[in-house]
Each structure stands twice: as structure tokens, then as C-alpha cells.
């Protein structure tokens, strides 16, 4: 894999060491902020294009959950593998995804990151270690075992991360995967994005306990709960888990408490209590605001970053709009066989 | 030439492919315990070590998913399902993940996994240990499906499956494990998508897969003097060598397909569909499928026997078509 982000940006591990990160270098904080803002603006744009009909199908937005994707992926190297979910735009952006190719994929174009075959739920960008979204809730948990296994098999120190929702934690794959990862001490990090709902079902209607993380004890591995809207807290917890995995000490279950600000997906009505939505919409709950404050980012830095990101997104949308649709005949020629 | 048992053929292919390619590893229940339940993986862990021969907990979903992710990461897993029936607890990783990742990623990722699944009926193991589920996978874009019926193909197809760059379901039959036949010296592979004309004949074409190949040969023998039966073993069900079947039907004008799976919505029905679509004018009589009864396979020996195709039921079907 080329050890470079698509846009020539320096990878985090090139600019600083794990030790340095404990003191949170200003550059890293800016990069994290930039990455979160990219997710936020990318998804706001996608929502708009979805509503206007330029994007078809179903899209699941992660607005409000940006700190989980960015906190975790900031602790990773480019060659670490990430397995994502149906709500995965943020994970790919945080891993260094190519925005024009992502936007083109949402619009079903040939230049999309899955050449128009995947769409929102099945983006793939193996060049940056993004091994795919997943339309099956809980599907990624066992796939990530394989990437972790491959690293261990080859004697490399890469790791595999799987993101999954609070709802996915009730799938059988959760148990099978964590048991096997712990048994074989795989370099595996399971990140539960607990956004408190699975589609329209509240967490408490699906889970008899307050948290998912304590289940880790059943597998003899660490289980950690962290404020998923605090990017630096997520980062610190993830970095420790990554270090543990790289050292050969096995997997960690990291539960990030967060909240999905948007409806479950474009086509499902939102019936959550108004007070709850308002509470989570407050600036003190907003992960970007939180990082701005804690990282001491100045207004001028913020507006420079925003300016950059907006320009990048404009380029991405223009690229997608200008890209051709895939050719059905060529597609069938290449993929259909009996 | 030398004599080779079907089960040894599987074992030799695993040994040779693991020696040939360091990215090949074997994973499944008991595969590292004295060769596993059916002894197909004998000697592998001693020779290649526990790193490459991974006995697992009883977690089919986990190891099928793991194999998928490992293949996406450049390894070449060989997954063993102790019984074909047990794929049912791993259908998400097999069908939604393994089979689809190459397509969903627009061809960016390859998933070179071999899924070995052991099947068989007539062993009085009843409904959950007797199924031939090949049709589920033939119906799933993304899978190749092979079904060796001889030692030669058991070895040759397994080698081709392991070297293939996509998911291949390799269905082996436990009733054939101890069949012995003469094979050539040296190395061979059986290419995917090439049928074998097992026996030439003029009056009727019998397409037989897996264990049914034995039934077809026995029926052909029994009918000697009455009818001249051509027997074709496709060996590879997907991709399918339809050309060989069509050219046989163009000669005989009659077709029977026989397999252990239920006749409804099965591989035989698909062969008939394709032959009718592409060779309707070649047919002198209606094509038939001989398969098992559409019931959960019963335990009691007379019941099980009555539900499965036999030399007698196949011979009767051939008679019916010939005497039309
Ligand atoms: C196996 C499976 N069951 C059901 C669905 C339909 N579905 C899509 S997303 C979703 C909710 C998932 O909740 P959670 O895991 O908490 O993730 P979130 O959507 O909150 O990010 C459901 C039920 C599915 N895609 N896959
Ligand atoms: Mg949720």
C-alpha cells in the first residue's frame, strides 16, 4: 500500500509519535478538527444532494458522531485495516478517503470509490486501509478478524479495527468475533458506536444493561467506555488499545457513547423525543465545538480550515457531477458469468 | 499410474498447495486434531505448524468471516465445514460478504477462498446431516461451485479451487472418501468449467453429479443391450460446461439429470432450463430430473432409501424416456 494520503497530507504517525500525542500537539488537534469538519460538511452536502434527488438509494448520516471516527482513526496507521458499517462515510474520511471518489460513488459514477457498484453502504478504498462499509448489521465484526489474522500470520504489526453500532452488539457475530479475537490474541479493536438507537429502537429496549463494554470481561479482554463526543478522549483510549494490539497483547472492546443527530436514514421518520434532540443539539454536546474548546483552536484557524474544506468539497461535487455513469454493457461483460 | 483414495486425494492437494504457496492456510473445526473428524487434514499441522492449520471453536460464522477478511488482505484460506448442512449458520459471511465483496468493491478486492463442505446421504444421519445444498450457492452470484466424484477430480479440482482468485465452494462426498482408483503419476489439475464425458452412448444423455455419477454408471451398465447411455459428469457446476452437454444431447436427443438434492429448484432443473433454452430442437422427449423427495431427510433406513435416487429409480426414468 502506498504510504501516503491521496491528497499528499502527512499521515499522523509521520508528524508525531504516540508519546508526543499524549501531550496533544497543536498540529494533531487541527488535523482532527479538520477531519471532523470534513465529515460534517460532506454529510450536510450529501443530505442536500439526497433531498434534491442527485443521490439515490439510502444514506445513513453520522452527523454528531464525528469524534468516534476521527478519534479512533487518528490512532491508526495507513496500513491498519478499518471495517465499517452502513453508516460509514465518516470512517472513510477519517481514514484518509478521497472525497471526489466518495462523492462520485454516492452519485453512482464510474469514478466512484467502488466504481458505482457499492454506493453509500459499500464504499471501498483499500489503498487507505478502508476495507468496506457493510449493509449487514454486525457483518464487519468477523471480516475484521481476517485482516487482524493476516497481519499476525505475516508477522506484521498492523491491526484491524471494526466499527459497529449498539444494535449490532446484539448479533451473534459479536460474541463469535470477540471470543476468537481474544482466544488468538488478534490485533483487533472493536469500536462500538453507541448512538443510543438501532434504527428507531432505543438502546434500553434492546439491551438489559447500561453498557456494552463490560461484556469484554467475559472474553478476558479490556472493555472501555468513553465519551464518544470527546475526540481527544476517544483518541487516547483508541491509542492505548492500538498500542496493546500492536504489542501482541490482543483485542480491546471500546464503547463510545454518542448520539445520532440526524434521522436513522433518509427514508425513515424520526420520532425521538423533542427534548432529547434539543439536548443533543446543544453546542456543549457538539463534538466539533468540544474539540475547538479543549484544543484551544483560534477563530482564525477554524475559519482557515473551514475555507479549505469547503473548497475541497466543491471540487468533489464538481468532479462527481462531471463524471460519467458506468457503462452497463461493460459492467455485465466484466462481472456477469454463469 | 498408482492407486489413490478420494480422501487421500483431498489430503494430497492440501499438502501440495500449502507447500507451494505460503499464503494458503487451513481453518475449521478439528482440522488440527489428528486430521479432523474425517481425517482429510491428516499430517498438515505436523508439517506446516499451528500457524497455518487453525482449529477453531464451533463458530462457523466467525471463521467464514475471518477467511473472507483474510482473503481480502491477501491470504488464501481453505475453510472446512465439517458438514455441508452447517453452512446455514454462516450464510451471512458466505453469501452477503464472501460472494459479494469483489462485486461491491467494483473489482478492487479479490476474495480467493476455498470453502470445503462435506456432504452425503444414505448414512442414516437424518435431516440435518444429509443435505446437498449446492443450489443455494449456484443461485448466489460470486460463487464458483465444484463437486468432485473421483479421486482424480478430488485432487485436481481442489488445486484449481485453491489457485482461483474468487470464492470456490468445493463439495466433497463422504460416501466416496474410501473409493480408490488409478491416477497418473506427477501433478495435475482439473480446470474449472470443463465437463467429463464419463461413458459414451447413443440413446440418452445422463448428467450426473457427485455420488450420482456412480448411480448413472450402474444404470448404464444395467441397461447395456437395451439402451446405449452417455454419462456426463460436469464436475464444475459453476462455471458450467454447457457445450459438452448440448453436444451430447444433439446426438442422443434425450436428457436425464440425476443428483442427491431435491429435484425442485435444483441443479437439474437449471440444466433442463438451459438445454431447453438453447437446444429445444435437439430434444426428442421431455427432459427429466431424478433427485431426492422434497422432504426433510428421514432417519429410518427404508424411509431414507425411498427418498433418494437409486440405480433402480434412475433406470426406470431412463426407460420411461427411451420408450416414449
Ligand atoms: C442483519 C441486518 N438486520 C437489520 C438491518 C436493517 N438495519 C439497518 S441499520 C439498522 C440499525 C442498526 O443499529 P446500530 O447497529 O445501532 O447502528 P446505527 O444505525 O445506530 O449506526 C437496522 C436494523 C440490516 N441492515 N441488517
Ligand atoms: Mg445505534
pLDDT digits (tens, 9 = 90+) for B139-195: 999 999 999 999 999 999 999 999 999 999 999 999 999 999 999 999 999 999 999
Average pLDDT over residues B306-311: 98
Q: Which residues of chain A have pLDDT under 50?
A: 1-23
Q: In a mutagenesis test of the A interface, which of B54, B70, B106, B193 is the best target, namely the one with the most A β-carbons within 10 Å?
A: B106
Q: Does residue B239 have a cis peptide bond before it, meaning omega lies within 30 degrees of 0?
A: yes
**B40-87 pLDDT tens trace:** 999 999 999 999 999 999 999 999 999 999 999 999 999 999 999 999
Measure the CA–CA gap between A314 and A302, rounded to whole angstroms.
18
Select the residue of B51, B61, B108 nearest A176 (Cβ to Cβ): B61
Q: Given this model, what pLDDT does residue A24 score? A: 55
Residue B78: which of B159, B12, B176 has the closest Cα?
B159
The ipTM is 0.96
Cβ B157 vs Cβ B146: under 8 Å = yes
**A145-155 pLDDT tens trace:** 999 999 999 99
Measure the CA–CA gap between B175 and B46, rounded to whole angstroms.
27
Measure the CA–CA gap between B193 and A4, rounded to whole angstroms.
41
Q: Please count the other Cβ atoms lying within 10 Å of the Cβ belonging to residue B319.
A: 15
B319 an active-site residue? Answer: no
Report the run of H or E that residue B181 belongs to, with start and end. Answer: strand B180-183
Cβ–Cβ below 8 Å for A142 and B62 = yes
Distance B321 CA to ligand 2 centre (A): 60
Q: What is the DSSP letter of A272?
A: -
Select the residue of B61, B69, B106 nearest A118 (Cβ to Cβ): B106
E strands along A8-122, which residues?
Answer: 81-83
Which positions ≥6 away from A154 have C-beta within 8 Å? Answer: none
- Residue whose cell numbers read 465529515: A39
Cβ–Cβ below 8 Å for B97 and A160 = no
Cβ–Cβ below 8 Å for A177 and B70 = no
- Return the C-alpha cell found at B151: 479421486
pTM of the model: 0.95
- Return the C-alpha cell found at B244: 459438452
Listed residues: CB within 5 A of ion ligand 2? A 165-167, 195, 198
Cβ B193 vs Cβ B239: under 8 Å = yes
For chain A, list residues whose CB is within 8 angstroms of any CB belonging to chain B: 81, 83, 112, 114-118, 122, 124, 126, 131-132, 134-136, 138-139, 141-151, 153, 160, 172-173, 176-177, 179-180, 183, 334-338
Q: How many percent of chain B have pLDDT more than 70?
A: 100
DSSP string of B65-107?
A: HHHHHHHHTT-EEEEEESSGGGGGGGHIIIIIIITTHHHHTTT
Amino acid at each position: 500500500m502506498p504510504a501516503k494520503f491521496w491528497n499528499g497530507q502527512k499521515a499522523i504517525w509521520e508528524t508525531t509519535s504516540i508519546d508526543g500525542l499524549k501531550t496533544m500537539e497543536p498540529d494533531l488537534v487541527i488535523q482532527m478538527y479538520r477531519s471532523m469538519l470534513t465529515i460534517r460538511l460532506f454529510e450536510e452536502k450529501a443530505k442536500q444532494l439526497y433531498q434534491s434527488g442527485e443521490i439515490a438509494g439510502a444514506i445513513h448520516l453520522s452527523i454528531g458522531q464525528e469524534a468516534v471516527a476521527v478519534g479512533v482513526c487518528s490512532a491508526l496507521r495507513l496500513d491498519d485495516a478499518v471495517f465499517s458499517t452502513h453508516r460509514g462515510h465518516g470512517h472513510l474520511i477519517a481514514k484518509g478517503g478521497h472525497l471526489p471518489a466518495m462523492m462520485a460513488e454516492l452519485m453512482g459514477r464510474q469514478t466512484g470509490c467502488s466504481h458505482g457498484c457499492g454506493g453509500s453502504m459499500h464504499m471501498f478504498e483499500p489503498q487507505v486501509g478502508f476495507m468496506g462499509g457493510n449493509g449487514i448489521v454486525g457483518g464487519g465484526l468477523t471480516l475484521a478478524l481476517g485482516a487482524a489474522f493476516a497481519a499476525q500470520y505475516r508477522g506484521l504489526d498492523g491491526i484491524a479495527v471494526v466499527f459497529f453500532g449498539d444494535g449490532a452488539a446484539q448479533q451473534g457475530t459479536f460474541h463469535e468475533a470477540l471470543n476468537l479475537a481474544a482466544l488468538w490474541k488478534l490485533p483487533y479493536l472493536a469500536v462500538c458506536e453507541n448512538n443510543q438507537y438501532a434504527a428507531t429502537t432505543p438502546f434500553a429496549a434492546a439491551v438489559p444493561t447500561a453498557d456494552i463494554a463490560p461484556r469484554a470481561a467475559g472474553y478476558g479482554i479490556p472493555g472501555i467506555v468513553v465519551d464518544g463526543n470527546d475526540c481527544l478522549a476517544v483518541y487516547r483510549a483508541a491509542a492505548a488499545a492500538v498500542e496493546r494490539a500492536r504489542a501482541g497483547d490482543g483485542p480491546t472492546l471500546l464503547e463510545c457513547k454518542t448520539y445520532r443527530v440526524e434521522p436513522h436514514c433518509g427514508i425513515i421518520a424520526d420520532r425521538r423525543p423533542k427534548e432529547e434532540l434539543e439536548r443533543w443539539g446543544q453546542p456543549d454536546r457538539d463534538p466539533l465545538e468540544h474539540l475547538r474548546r479543549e484544543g484551544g483552536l483560534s477563530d482564525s484557524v477554524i475559519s482557515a480550515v473551514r475555507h479549505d474544506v469547503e473548497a475541497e468539497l466543491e471540487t468533489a461535487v464538481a468532479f462527481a457531477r462531471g463524471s460519467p455513469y458506468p457503462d452497463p454493457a461493460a459492467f455485465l461483460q466484466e462481472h456477469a458469468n454463469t | 499410474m498408482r492407486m489413490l483414495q478420494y480422501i487421500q486425494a483431498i489430503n494430497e492437494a492440501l499438502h501440495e498447495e500449502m507447500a507451494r504457496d505460503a499464503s494458503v492456510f487451513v481453518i475449521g473445526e478439528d482440522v488440527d486434531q489428528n486430521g479432523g473428524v474425517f481425517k482429510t487434514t491428516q499430517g498438515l499441522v505436523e508439517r506446516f505448524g499451528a500457524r497455518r492449520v487453525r482449529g477453531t471453536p464451533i463458530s462457523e460464522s466467525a471463521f467464514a468471516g475471518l477467511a473472507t477478511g483474510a482473503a481480502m488482505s491477501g491470504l488464501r484460506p481453505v475453510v472446512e465445514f465439517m458438514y455441508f448442512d452447517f453452512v446455514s449458520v454462516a450464510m451471512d459471511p458466505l453469501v452477503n460478504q464472501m460472494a459479494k465483496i469483489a462485486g461491491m468493491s467494483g473489482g478492487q478486492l479479490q476474495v480467493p477462498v476455498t470453502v470445503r463442505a462435506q456432504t452425503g446421504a444414505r448414512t442414516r444421519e437424518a435431516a440435518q446431516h444429509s443435505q446437498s445444498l449446492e443450489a443455494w450457492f449456484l443461485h448466489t452470484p460470486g460463487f464458483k461451485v465444484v463437486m468432485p466424484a473421483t479421486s482424480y477430480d478430488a485432487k485436481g479440482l481442489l488445486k484449481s479451487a485453491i489457485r482461483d482468485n474468487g470464492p470456490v465452494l468445493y463439495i466433497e462426498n463422504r460416501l466416496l472418501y474410501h473409493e480408490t482408483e488409478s491416477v497418473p503419476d506427477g501433478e495435475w489439475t482439473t480446470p474449472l468449467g470443463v465437463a467429463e464425458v464419463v461413458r459414451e452412448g447413443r440413446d440418452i444423455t445422463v448428467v450426473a453429479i457427485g455420488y450420482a455419477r456412480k448411480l448413472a454408471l450402474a444404470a448404464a451398465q444395467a441397461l447395456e443391450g437395451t439402451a446405449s447411455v452417455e454419462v456426463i459428469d460436469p464436475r464444475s457446476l459453476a462455471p458450467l460446461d454447457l457445450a459438452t452437454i448440448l453436444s451430447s444431447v444433439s446426438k442422443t436427443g434425450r436428457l436425464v439429470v440425476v443428483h442427491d438434492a431435491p429435484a425442485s429448484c435444483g441443479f437439474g432443473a437449471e440444466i433442463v432450463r438451459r438445454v431447453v433454452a438453447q437446444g429445444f430442437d435437439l430434444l426428442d422427449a421431455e427432459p427429466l430430473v431424478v433427485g431426492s423427495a422434497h422432504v426433510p431427510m428421514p432417519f429410518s433406513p427404508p424411509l431414507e432409501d425411498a427418498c433418494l435416487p437409486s440405480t433402480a429409480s434412475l433406470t426406470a426414468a431412463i426407460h420411461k424416456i427411451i420408450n416414449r
